[in-house]
A and B are shown apart, each in its own frame.
Chain A
């Protein structure tokens, strides 16, 4: 049975196709102004990769902040449920699953039976999410993908304010004026962000295994900072940015079976 998961994030749309519960292909596109078109593009890519037609798909589930705009979705699922499903799929002993996207940070708590029992989301602010790194990279005149490796070269930490992207940016500017080195400023950015994410996660408890997914889970600078903050091992799957779409595709498989009953 072929199922499709679509994750309509604020920055990118991701699509994952499963065959009998195993991932066979992926696709992604920039969300842009039209999430529907972007989803069609991501799905077309995934279908092409799997050598399939849209009509081969038995069931599809959409998630993500624009999930309502997913063309042809059979149903939707919240990002938290999709995160829980994917986290446990990758690491069966996952109890805390952290998902950091472009504009949202979430954490989900699962019990021993892999059922979600609690969750938290960041409160109407992008300071604990990917957009924060992006804004700071701009201020530092550094490429986004270079921020992480750069931060690892820092010899010490300098504090900045991450209660808000705007304030954070002005802090970074003043560090530049104080002629702090770029690696140190980059590390300060990740530390500040990890600080915020960590206090959010502590609200539901840090219970190993701790899994990190979402686009920001690819950033070595953030991973290092979060490890320092939480003081536990952090497990990251391959292609963590596709985890939400994968979770949706797994839920699609369950729902397809329910429908057959």
Chain B
């Protein structure tokens, strides 16, 4: 028999023994970091909502959810991973497959990704490539195919690199939203994805199955919005807790997540009635925006903000790893196949505030979202979080800063890397910013 090897475009040769050693070391340290993060969150709120217990468990990336997905896969279900929020999860669900987002929040795997791409590349990309190289991420490992949306430069090339490991389905996103042909072009991409999913899973996406999937995500959006609405008043839940709930939607079972998040909202509403606030009501209210913050290692900044002296509370975010996940419902008028597909197309393209978009007015949608959020959530200061190499967010900073200056809201550019070594310096910067917010009230 011929021992034919498929030639890899990018992936370097690594001995299986080295892969195993790296995976075991990083997995052990990651399990520790996950547990530590949760301990820190518990410490920040000794009277933490009961409903958070579920989200603590589901946040163990090497735990229950991994087992469930393996079991589903053994029964023949397909798992479809995706790297950008533009992947139409309703179509995946309607094809009786399971969607799961696979971007890496592991700092340690960036060093492995560095063997393929230079350090100038955004660490979210380097880390995800590194995670794939050593098979660290259960969700990435279990994915039968990956949807790669051509948004920023990093995401565009990452799909190409990961094609050494998995089937990749690209989705080509138009960069200017408000041209009529953009939506038509994108609708074609959505239709292609439908066909791709049907062929791959062998399941036809029917009017009935798509309607059920859309209704499920509408339900999830309702409870998601309810949670963010609760955060708009006096502090009722620590920002980190809400952020974990929001993000866990990306890998959890959608129906169960909806139930558990509903239970959390019920509990929080009762607390609000009792005026049982999670921290003093004059705690500076912070919004974070910029590069996505993926669990677990990128909880660095949320941890710093909510454990600082003086302490702040994150009441809102404009992150594709956070509030952007479920903010916008798929709005269907008539439940015909065409209408549903159009509604999906529109929801994923038009509602997005991703900086990959531009126009003669710039990325106006993002500015409007931020100005709205600042007002609605009574935000006192904005942290603009950028990892080195995250070009699009870095480049939009000046414009956003100007827009916020106009309404007298301070914003601080917090640049960092996928590293723990700068925590000391970051702490000083975060604390100075929070002191500044406090001083504006005090003096």
Are A and B bound to each other?
yes
Report the stretch among B58-66, B197-205, B433-441 that lies at the interface.
B433-441
**Residues of chain B whose beta carbon lies under 8 Å from any beta carbon of chain A:** 309, 410, 412, 415, 422, 424-425, 428-429, 431-433, 435-436, 439-440, 443
Report the stretch among A111-119, A135-143, A156-164, A176-184 that lies at the interface.
A111-119
Set A75, A76, A80, A113: member contacting B443, Cβ < 8 A: A113
25 contacts between A and B (CB under 8 A): A65-B424, A77-B435, A78-B429, A78-B431, A78-B432, A78-B435, A79-B428, A80-B436, A81-B432, A81-B435, A81-B436, A114-B443, A115-B436, A115-B439, A116-B432, A116-B435, A116-B436, A116-B439, A117-B410, A118-B436, A119-B412, A119-B432, A119-B436, A121-B425, A121-B428
Which chain A residues lie closer than 8 Å to B435 at the CB level? 77-78, 80-81, 116
In the complex, the chain A residue whose C-beta lies closest to that of B415 is A123
**Are the C-beta atoms of B422 and A121 separated by less than 8 Å?**
no
**Are the C-beta atoms of A78 and B439 separated by less than 8 Å?**
no
* Complex alpha-carbon distance, A155 and B328, angstroms: 65
* Complex alpha-carbon distance, A118 and B437, angstroms: 10
Provide the main secondary structure of the chain B interface.
helix
Which chain A residues lie closer than 8 Å to B425 at the CB level? 121, 124
* Complex alpha-carbon distance, A188 and B116, angstroms: 39
Which chain A residues lie closer than 8 Å to B410 at the CB level? 117-118
Which chain A residues lie closer than 8 Å to B428 at the CB level? 65, 78-80, 121
Number of interface residues of A (CB under 8 A): 18
Which chain A residues lie closer than 8 Å to B309 at the CB level? 75-76
In the complex, the chain A residue whose C-beta lies closest to that of B422 is A124
* Complex alpha-carbon distance, A121 and B422, angstroms: 13
Which chain B residues lie closer than 8 Å to A114 at the CB level? 443
* Complex alpha-carbon distance, A81 and B443, angstroms: 13
Q: Using a CB-CB cutoff of 8 Å, which residues 51-88 of chain A contact chain B?
A: 65, 75-81
* Complex alpha-carbon distance, A77 and B412, angstroms: 18
Which chain B residues lie closer than 8 Å to A77 at the CB level? 435
**Are the C-beta atoms of B439 and A81 separated by less than 8 Å?**
yes
* Complex alpha-carbon distance, A78 and B436, angstroms: 10
A121-B436 contact given A76-B309, A113-B443, CB 8 Å threshold: no
Which chain B residues lie closer than 8 Å to A124 at the CB level? 422, 425
Which chain B residues lie closer than 8 Å to A117 at the CB level? 410, 436, 440
In the complex, the chain B residue whose C-beta lies closest to that of A116 is B436
> B438 to chain A: closest CB distance in Å?
9
> B355 to chain A: closest CB distance in Å?
20
> B428 to chain A: closest CB distance in Å?
5
> B10 to chain A: closest CB distance in Å?
29
* Complex alpha-carbon distance, A123 and B416, angstroms: 9
Provide the main secondary structure of the chain A interface.
mixed
The 7 closest A-B pairs by CB, nearest first: A78-B432, A80-B432, A81-B435, A78-B431, A116-B436, A115-B443, A115-B439
* Complex alpha-carbon distance, A136 and B443, angstroms: 43
Which chain A residues lie closer than 8 Å to B415 at the CB level? 123
Which chain B residues lie closer than 8 Å to A80 at the CB level? 428, 432, 435-436
In the complex, the chain B residue whose C-beta lies closest to that of A123 is B415
Q: Using a CB-CB cutoff of 8 Å, which residues 98-151 of chain A contact chain B?
A: 113-119, 121, 123-124
Which chain B residues lie closer than 8 Å to A75 at the CB level? 309
**Are the C-beta atoms of A121 and B440 separated by less than 8 Å?**
no
> B120 to chain A: closest CB distance in Å?
14
Q: Which of B431, B432, B433 gathers most chain A CB within 10 Å?
A: B432
Which chain A residues lie closer than 8 Å to B436 at the CB level? 80-81, 115-119
* Complex alpha-carbon distance, A116 and B309, angstroms: 17
Which chain B residues lie closer than 8 Å to A76 at the CB level? 309
* Complex alpha-carbon distance, A65 and B443, angstroms: 25
* Complex alpha-carbon distance, A77 and B436, angstroms: 11
> A239 to chain B: closest CB distance in Å?
23
> B232 to chain A: closest CB distance in Å?
25
Q: Which of A78, A116, A119 gathers most chain B CB within 10 Å?
A: A78
In the complex, the chain B residue whose C-beta lies closest to that of A75 is B309
Set A65, A115, A119: member contacting B440, Cβ < 8 A: A115
* Complex alpha-carbon distance, A115 and B432, angstroms: 12
* Complex alpha-carbon distance, A115 and B440, angstroms: 7
Which chain A residues lie closer than 8 Å to B424 at the CB level? 65
In the complex, the chain A residue whose C-beta lies closest to that of B421 is A124
Which chain B residues lie closer than 8 Å to A115 at the CB level? 436, 439-440, 443
* Complex alpha-carbon distance, A124 and B424, angstroms: 11
* Complex alpha-carbon distance, A67 and B428, angstroms: 10
Having A65-B424, A76-B309, A78-B432, one finds 20 other A-B pairs with CB under 8 Å, namely A65-B428, A75-B309, A78-B428, A78-B431, A78-B435, A79-B428, A79-B432, A81-B435, A115-B436, A115-B443, A116-B432, A117-B410, A117-B436, A117-B440, A118-B412, A119-B433, A121-B425, A121-B428, A121-B429, A124-B422
> B306 to chain A: closest CB distance in Å?
17
> A199 to chain B: closest CB distance in Å?
14
> B153 to chain A: closest CB distance in Å?
22
Which chain A residues lie closer than 8 Å to B440 at the CB level? 115, 117
> A94 to chain B: closest CB distance in Å?
15
Which chain A residues lie closer than 8 Å to B443 at the CB level? 113-115
> A102 to chain B: closest CB distance in Å?
15
* Complex alpha-carbon distance, A250 and B436, angstroms: 16
> B424 to chain A: closest CB distance in Å?
8
* Complex alpha-carbon distance, A80 and B429, angstroms: 8
